[in-house]
């Protein structure tokens, strides 16, 4: 089941696109669950990290599609995104926000099918492990592969990913249990867990990441961490 979002302020367009998508689902044996929104604000207020694909009109009155996409990309870098437009001059701007492609109105089934075939041929979506959470800043979907490390921050945990830092309202014990179930994560300190895929080297009691960041390694955790890191690096050869 794929969760498909249609965001457009024209009801007729939503109905038309749902019909075309339902035809595609029938032709390919896929199952779609549809979510309808009539402006960008409504979509952002009800955004879910398990959305797979968004079809969004560029020109909407309350909050246009480009601004909406900009906000979505702050919290979800993986969801598929097609822009809908009748104005081709907006097309190139859309690629700045990670659009897969654009669809010109009125839509044709042949073009839609071609784009969807291409999308699903390389889409991994929920097959790739991810962590979803909410905090005071919004809702986030973080692929495990993009999470560099986590550290204790007071009673919560600070996650470092995709060039940003966000608090998740869980303690380190909970986060460590979740992350260590993924083979690339290892506890290197009572207050830190690191993605070994980002570890470039170890210097004394610090793991040096490919980003230049340094994550502390505690003496009690060092032996176990180094063994896990050696196994992980060995598997990568």
pLDDT in tens, 129-155: 888 898 998 888 888 989 999 999 999
User: Given this model, what pLDDT does residue 83 score?
Assistant: 87
Q: With a cut of 70, say whether residue 91 has pLDDT above it.
A: no
User: Given this model, what pLDDT does residue 116 score?
Assistant: 92
What is the pLDDT averaged over residues 3-29? 94
What is the pLDDT averaged over residues 185-203? 96
Cis bond upstream, residue 76 (ω within 30): no
Q: With a cut of 60, say whether residue 96 has pLDDT above it.
A: no
Q: Which overall architecture, per CATH, does domain 130-236 show?
A: Beta Barrel (2.40)
Contact 4, 35 (CB under 8 A): yes
Q: Which is more confident, 174 or 126?
A: 174
Cross-sheet strand order for the sheet of 2-7: 32-37, 2-7, 53-57, 80-85, 101-104
Q: With a cut of 90, say whether residue 90 has pLDDT above it.
A: no
Domain ranges of the chain: 2-127, 130-236
The predicted model scores a pTM of 0.64
Mention every residue, 6+ apart, whose C-beta is less than 8 A from residue 141. 49, 75, 76, 77, 78, 79, 130, 131, 132
User: Given this model, what pLDDT does residue 135 score?
Assistant: 93
Q: What's the Cα-to-Cα distance from 127 to each of 46, 48, 104, rounded to whole Å?
A: 23, 17, 30
Residue 135 and residue 67: Cα distance in Å, rounded? 21
pLDDT, tens digit, for every residue of 20-68?
999 999 999 999 999 999 999 999 999 988 899 999 988 887 888 888 9
User: Given this model, what pLDDT does residue 89 score?
Assistant: 57
DSSP letters of 134-197? Answer: EETTEEEEEEGGGEEEEEEETTEEEEEETTEEEEESS-HHHHHHHHTTSTTEEEEETTEEEEGG
Percent of the chain's residues with pLDDT above 90: 59
CATH superfamily of 2-127: Response regulator (3.40.50.2300)
Q: Hey, which residues does 31 pair with through a beta bridge?
A: none
pLDDT, tens digit, for every residue of 113-136?
999 998 888 775 556 788 889 899
Split at pLDDT 50, 70, 90, the class of 105 is confident
Residue 16 and residue 59: Cα distance in Å, rounded? 17
Residue matched to tokens 């991810």 = 130
């Amino acid at each position: 089941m794929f969760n498909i979002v249609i965001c457009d302020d024209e009801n007729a367009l939503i109905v038309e696109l749902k019909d075309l998508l339902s035809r595609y689902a029938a032709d390919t044996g896929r199952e779609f669950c549809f979510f309808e929104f009539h402006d960008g604000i409504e979509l952002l207020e009800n955004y879910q990290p398990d959305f797979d694909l968004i079809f969004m009109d560029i020109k909407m009155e309350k909050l246009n599609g480009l601004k909406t996409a900009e906000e979505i990309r702050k919290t979800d870098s993986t969801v598929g995104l097609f822009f809908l437009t009748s104005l081709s001059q907006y097309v190139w701007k859309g690629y700045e926000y990670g659009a897969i492609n654009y669809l010109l109105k009125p839509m044709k089934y042949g073009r839609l099918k071609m784009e969807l075939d291409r999308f699903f041929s390389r889409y991994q979506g929920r097959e790739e492990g991810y962590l979803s959470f909410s905090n005071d800043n919004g809702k986030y979907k973080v692929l495990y592969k993009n999470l560099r490390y986590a550290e204790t921050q007071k009673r919560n945990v600070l996650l470092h990913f995709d060039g940003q830092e966000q608090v998740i309202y869980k303690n380190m014990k909970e986060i460590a249990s979740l992350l260590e179930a993924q083979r690339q994560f290892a506890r290197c300190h009572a207050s830190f867990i690191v993605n070994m895929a980002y570890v470039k080297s170890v210097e004394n009691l610090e793991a040096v990441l490919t980003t230049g960041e340094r994550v502390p390694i505690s003496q009690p955790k060092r032996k176990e961490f180094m063994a896990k890191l050696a196994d992980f690096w060995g598997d990568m050869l």
